[in-house]
């Protein structure tokens, strides 16, 4: 898979991809992540990428032309399955989006800034608009990193058995069950007996029951939202 991220702040996005699982996924050749500085497509001496909004009002708007130029340069090299714009008014990103994006070959993610992008970019270039929650970030970069992380860890070969995505919260619309490690007794609090029983069938059933109970208590909405 290949992910191209377009941003005015590539530096802000470098670090998340240089550590741990995301770094390993790239080192293993399972994903390529390319950061593109939108300013390189900006106008004039100052490499301008934003301008005042028509109709007046505070805040600058990202211009269509540099964004189209950058995306079209990428599209000249390969076909993209989705061109995603990170924005608080997009669809709320969830595990289903992550699962389906993990199956495609190439995606572009555009991180917005200022008052957002010229509507013509959204109307004529973007194929999917995603939000990572009902709050406003100062730019789409961190949101782009969140989406990339959730997608990359699902690519075959990225996780080993120990970190398998199959037992993650949300993978089957259930939250993950509680987990414990040593010691078996800490400050008088004991690890549930069943987990120390060695009876794998019983352990599996207990984990499933706990996952269902936790989901009922914390996120009952997930139970009526079956895939
Ligand atoms: N840009 C600013 N806020 C955002 C959010 N909540 N999700 C995605 N992109 C954003």
Residue ranges covered by each domain of the chain: 2-152, 169-223
Dist CA 142 CA 140 (whole Å): 6
Whole-number Å distance, alpha carbon 167 to ligand 1 midpoint, is 28
Give the ligand 1 atom nearest the CA of 136: 3
Question: How much of the chain is in helix, strand and coil states, percent to nearest 5?
Answer: 40, 20, 40
Whole-number Å distance, alpha carbon 136 to ligand 1 midpoint, is 5
Cβ 136 under 6 angstroms from ligand 1: yes
Give per-residue pLDDT as tens, 90-140.
999 999 999 999 999 999 999 998 789 999 999 999 999 999 999 999 999
Cβ 3 under 6 angstroms from ligand 1: no
User: Phi first, then psi: what are they for 208, rounded to 5°?
Assistant: -65, -45
pLDDT at 188: 98
According to DSSP, the β-strands at 106-111 and 2-7 are: parallel
Cβ 143 under 6 angstroms from ligand 1: yes
Whole-number Å distance, alpha carbon 213 to ligand 1 midpoint, is 31
For residues 149 and 101, the answer to whether their CB atoms sit within 8 Å is: no
Task: Specify the pTM.
Answer: 0.94
Whole-number Å distance, alpha carbon 8 to ligand 1 midpoint, is 15
Written out in words, the top-level CATH class of the domain with range 2-152 is: alpha beta
pLDDT below 50 — which residues of the chain?
none
Dist CA 32 CA 78 (whole Å): 14
For domain 169-223, which CATH number applies: 1.10.1270.20, 3.40.50.12280, 1.10.3210.10, 2.60.40.10? 1.10.1270.20
């Amino acid at each position: 898979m290949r992910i191209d991220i377009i941003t005015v702040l590539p530096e802000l996005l470098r670090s998340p991809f240089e550590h741990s699982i995301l770094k390993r996924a790239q080192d293993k050749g399972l994903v390529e992540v390319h950061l593109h500085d939108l300013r390189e497509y900006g106008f004039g001496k100052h490499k301008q990428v934003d301008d005042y909004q028509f109709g007046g009002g505070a805040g600058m708007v990202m211009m269509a032309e540099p964004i189209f130029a950058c995306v079209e340069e990428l599209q000249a090299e390969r076909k993209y399955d989705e061109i995603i714009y990170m924005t608080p008014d997009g669809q709320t990103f969830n595990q289903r989006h992550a699962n389906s994006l993990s199956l495609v070959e190439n995606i572009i993610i555009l991180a917005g800034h200022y008052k957002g992008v010229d509507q013509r970019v959204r109307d004529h270039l973007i194929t999917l608009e995603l939000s990572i929650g009902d709050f406003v970030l100062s730019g789409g970069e961190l949101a782009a990193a969140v989406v990339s992380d959730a997608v990359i860890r699902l690519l075959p070969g990225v996780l080993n058995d120990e970190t398998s995505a199959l037992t993650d919260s949300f993978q089957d619309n259930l939250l993950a069950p509680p987990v414990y490690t040593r010691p078996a007794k800490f400050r008088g609090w004991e690890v549930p007996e069943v987990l120390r029983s060695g009876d794998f069938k019983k352990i599996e059933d207990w984990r499933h029951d706990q996952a269902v109970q936790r989901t009922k208590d914390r996120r009952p909405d997930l139970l009526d939202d079956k895939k």
